[in-house]
Amino acid sequence: MAGYAQKGDIDPKTGHRYAENPNKGWIWDDQYWSEVQEPALKAAYMNTPAGLIQTVMDDYNKKFDEYTRKYNEFDKNNPFVFDKVLGEERAKVSQRLDPYYNQTLSDYLTGVDLQRKRGLEDERKILTEINQDVTKLTGQQQLEAQDAIDRSREGAVDAGLYTSGARLRAQGRIEEAQGRAEDQTLQTAERKTKDVQLTGERQKQDLGLQETRTRRDIEQERQYQTESQSLTEVDRLQKQRAFEQGQYAGVFPGNDPNRYQSSLYSLLGA
């Protein structure tokens, strides 16, 4: 609002309104007001303290309006939608990081599969060896028992006791001992077989649990790095945009130009 009289106000010197032209019989004259009265009133007002303050305020408001116009113009021409930009950066970071994490997981799974394969091969080998040992040992026991029976028979023949009850009882004891030894061998082999199978099963469980945890850890690390690097890049882009917007809009009214520029460049880490 102007601080000087307006055209509808009464001039105390003439008693007429400021827009009334004395040269035309005091009729209302907008041209007389705009060309004669208003410039004179404005010039007189500007020489007062209030006028000087008004001049400063008008200049500030003009600069502020220009700054605001350019600031908003930059926003309109360079929109920045955070979620959209973040999504774009996530895609870029994922494209860069996914090959590494996919290869890391692939290498790990290859190692796990190799451990499973070797564990299965070792288990089969040990079980085969146990079976072979059992077959060999029981065969040897049977031979030893048969040799003992044969010697018993020969001794009985020499003594004339081939058909005696004593020989038959001795043969029975030999066969019984051979049966017990064979049962012991089979029981021992069975325990070893169960131990091997139990160890193999536990190894499978351990590898399965380890695989689950490693898959989880790799995926969590992938997600963390993707989000962290994406947010870092979005933050950099925001600061870069703020710098460019500040450069485009110019120095904020009332600010020291040097400090303003220094503040802008600090956004870039300079």
User: What are phi and psi for residue 27, nearest 5 degrees?
Assistant: -90, 160
Mean pLDDT rounded to a whole number for the chain: 83
Domain contains 125: yes
Query: CA 6 from chain center: how many Å?
Result: 67
pLDDT single digits (tens) 31-54: 988 898 888 887 877 777 766 677
Domain contains 9: no
Residues of the chain above pLDDT 90, percent: 39
Token look-up 């945009």 returns: 241
Token look-up 């827009």 returns: 19
Domain contains 109: yes
Token look-up 């190799």 returns: 114
- pLDDT for 111 beyond 50: yes
pLDDT single digits (tens) 114-172: 998 998 898 888 888 878 877 776 666 565 555 655 565 555 444 544 455 555 565 56
Domain contains 16: no
d(CA 114, CA 111) in angstroms, rounded, equals: 5
Determine contact, residues 33/19, Cβ cutoff 8 Å.
Answer: yes
Half-sphere exposure of 141 (CA within 13 A, CB side): 19
At position 120, the amino acid (one-letter code) is: L
Domain contains 194: yes
Domain contains 19: no
Q: Which of 73-77, 167-171, 254-258 has the lowest mean pLDDT?
A: 167-171
pLDDT single digits (tens) 260-270: 889 988 988 86
Residues in the chain: 270
Helix (H, G, I), strand (E, B) or coil at 21: strand
Domain contains 230: yes
Long-range contacts of 54-59 (CB under 8 A, 24+ apart): 54/3
pLDDT single digits (tens) 222-251: 999 999 999 999 999 999 999 999 999 998
- The total number of structural domains that make up the chain: 1
Domain contains 17: no
- List the domain range (segments joined by +) for residue 231: 83-249
Query: CA 45 from chain center: how many Å?
Result: 66
d(CA 189, CA 210) in angstroms, rounded, equals: 31
pLDDT of residue 161: 47
